[in-house]
Structure 1
Amino acid sequence: MIEIHQLRYAVATADAKSFSRAAAALNVKQITLSRRVKLLEDRLGVKLFDRSTRGAETTENGRPFIEQARRIITDVDNLQTTARNVSYGLRARIAVGYCSPIMSGNLRLAIADYLTKFEDVQFDGIEAGLEKLFHGLHSHVVDVAVAPIGLEEDGIASRRIWSERLFAVLPMDHGLAEKEQIYWQDLRREVFVVPAGGLGPVFGNLIAARLTEQGKRPSIIVQDTSLESVLSMVAAKRYISIATEASQGVCWADLRFHEIHDPNGPARLEYALYWRRNNDNPALQHFFKLIEERYPG
């Protein structure tokens, strides 16, 4: 018999492309996860993953199984949520995905407003990278996602909502820290570090677009870690990074957040809401109404 936790282990491995990262995400021992996935493969008679020193890649034969397993997990989780809502006396549920921090800023305020105004709704926040968020939209795991503008997928609608200022994150004694204004060109010689997940890929593309000249690309190091860990690396004075104003909700004693300017004013990152066109969840309609009131288009 195939057990639900085996499906979770397999799907987590496919998403993380690594047994170790999947085990860390699920808070289980790597050897336990690896063995359970191997037992699942033996039971199915199908090799789900190609294993190498670089990680674990889903095989061509394994992809259809992983997608079906993902749908099964979603159905089971929805059943559990429905049962939990009934026990709590809640009548509805909304799952909001986001790839930016909610330490402060517009997203935090919007979520706080929703939780206050709709106390009978189960609110589930899902923080993930862009690829996982959009997969969640298509698989009905996520009702609505908050992400940078410009993303297009079949069946997904979008609406611009707000923008946030962009900041260079510098060690306190960096040569640019006391400069009155910083422009993109001031950062041309710097080495940047960005996270692999969340907004990291967006920041990496933005830095490359702004600072590439005559075929020479800026130095960008991608770390497979959290934004908080990346900022801790900046404090060690080897790199600098990029962040939005929402990242300043925590006090970073050793860092200076210095606003970046374009020729026309402060550099900003634009955000939009993304949702399935056929999503008729009433709790989602309430979320749209709240956003429209706070941030009229």
Structure 2
Amino acid sequence: MYSFEQLRGFVAVAEELHFGRAAARLSMTQPPLSRLIQKLERAIGVRLFDRDNRGVAITPAGRAFLGEARRLLALAESAPDLARRISRGSVGQLRIGFTAASAYGVLPRLLDHLARTVPDIDLDLQEMVTREQVDALLGHELDLGLARPPFDPAEFGSRLLRREEMVLAVPTGHPLTALRRPVRPQDLLTEPLIMHSPSKARYFYDLVVSMVPVVHENVVHTVSQILTMVWLVSARRGVAFVPQSTSLLGIDGVEYLPLRTTSSRPVELHLLWPKDSPNPALGVALGALESFK
């Protein structure tokens, strides 16, 4: 094994092609430098220089080794600064969880904002439903989440990012599109419904049943992902309750109708993070996101 001192000596001799000048550059005498080079040659098992009365010449093996030696020295010199920057959180990695629905509008803008304000923090994205995000945040497998309530304020810091309406996704040309008013619960008494899963999409399930008296006999499909719901609507399998931002998907064969509900913008999306996070990059990112709207 060789040392960084030996590598510095080798690079100096390779660049000066003179032991005396290299020794002076390193603020040492020539004999110790010669011994450093000899030890390095023994350690790697090749001759790095040809020496004779006319001077010093680097061997082909030495030329090949020179690039790697410079790279190793550069890494060694930059490592302390990198460690300090990671400790401050100015570089590092941020693992972000997001629900599929949050990708429609909010997530791209949030990523653009972080890329501009903290460009040296790498962003790792993981799509998860809220329940999975909560577990991953508690286990420090995620640093930041785009999630739906509820969550424990004793465990998590949070910030409300968006409120939006719930709308009704219907196939293009559906009779409900002829209404000149918001859709009422009684308009849906005989409609086939595509519903949110009460286990995997609990937030949306609870929200819908609190707003609309769902006739469960009319439920033809129960799914966990909003994208799947909209594709089923496009296939004319039924109608579905979705956040208004779903219209950004631009799926053919689907129209979005307003609903008459007791709450005007009931769908919430929160930025969520564990209060006991050990990741310094999280604090830096949260500071950067204070100006995010």
* TM-score range relative to shorter protein: 0.5 to 0.7
C-alpha separation between the residues in 1 aligned to 2:122 and 2:269? Answer: 24
**Residue 241 (structure 1) aligns with:** 240
For the pair shown, which has the larger CA radius of gyration, 1 or 2?
Answer: 2
TM-score, scaled to structure 1: 0.59
**Residue 267 (structure 2) aligns with:** 269
Q: Can you list the C-alpha shifts for 1:27-51, whole angstroms capped at 9, x where unaligned?
A: xxxxxxxxxxxxxxxxxxxxxxxxx
* Percent identity for Structure 1 against Structure 2: 16
Q: Which runs of 5+ in 2 are unaligned?
A: 1-85
C-alpha separation between the residues in 2 aligned to 1:236 and 1:137? Answer: 36
**Residue 172 (structure 1) aligns with:** 172
* Contact 1:133-1:142 within 8 A present in 2 as well: yes
C-alpha separation between the residues in 2 aligned to 1:267 and 1:183? Answer: 15
SS of equivalent to 1:101: helix
Pairing of 1:19-168 with structure 2 (within 5 A): 91-152=91-152, 155-168=155-168
SS of equivalent to 1:152: coil
Q: Can you list the C-alpha shifts for 1:109-138, whole angstroms capped at 9, x where unaligned?
A: 112211233221110111112221111011
TM-score, scaled to structure 2: 0.60
- Aligned CA distance change for structure 1 residues 108 and 258 (closer, same or farther; 3 Å): farther
Letter in 1 for 2:140: H
SS of equivalent to 1:271: strand
* Contact 1:184-1:210 within 8 A present in 2 as well: no
C-alpha separation between the residues in 2 aligned to 1:184 and 1:218? Answer: 18
C-alpha separation between the residues in 2 aligned to 1:293 and 1:153? Answer: 22
Answering whether residue 191 of structure 2 is matched by residue 193 of structure 1, we say no
- Aligned CA distance change for structure 1 residues 288 and 194 (closer, same or farther; 3 Å): farther
Query: What is the CA distance between 1:217 and its match in structure 2?
Result: 5.0
**RMSD, matched Cα:** 3.1
Query: What is the CA distance between 1:99 and its match in structure 2?
Result: 1.5
Letter in 2 for 1:229: T
**Residue 212 (structure 2) aligns with:** 211
C-alpha separation between the residues in 2 aligned to 1:294 and 1:177? Answer: 36
Pairing of 1:222-261 with structure 2 (within 5 A): 222-224=221-223, 226-261=225-260
Query: What is the CA distance between 1:95 and its match in structure 2?
Result: 1.0
Query: What is the CA distance between 1:154 and its match in structure 2?
Result: 5.1
Question: Bigger CA drift: 267-276 or 219-228?
Answer: 219-228
Query: What is the CA distance between 1:221 and its match in structure 2?
Result: 4.7
- Aligned CA distance change for structure 1 residues 247 and 286 (closer, same or farther; 3 Å): farther
- Aligned CA distance change for structure 1 residues 102 and 156 (closer, same or farther; 3 Å): closer
Matched positions, count: 205
Query: What is the CA distance between 1:98 and its match in structure 2?
Result: 1.6
* Contact 1:160-1:273 within 8 A present in 2 as well: yes
* Contact 1:93-1:123 within 8 A present in 2 as well: yes
C-alpha separation between the residues in 2 aligned to 1:107 and 1:184? Answer: 32
Letter in 2 for 1:106: V
* Contact 2:170-2:257 within 8 A present in 1 as well: yes
C-alpha separation between the residues in 1 aligned to 2:213 and 2:204? Answer: 14
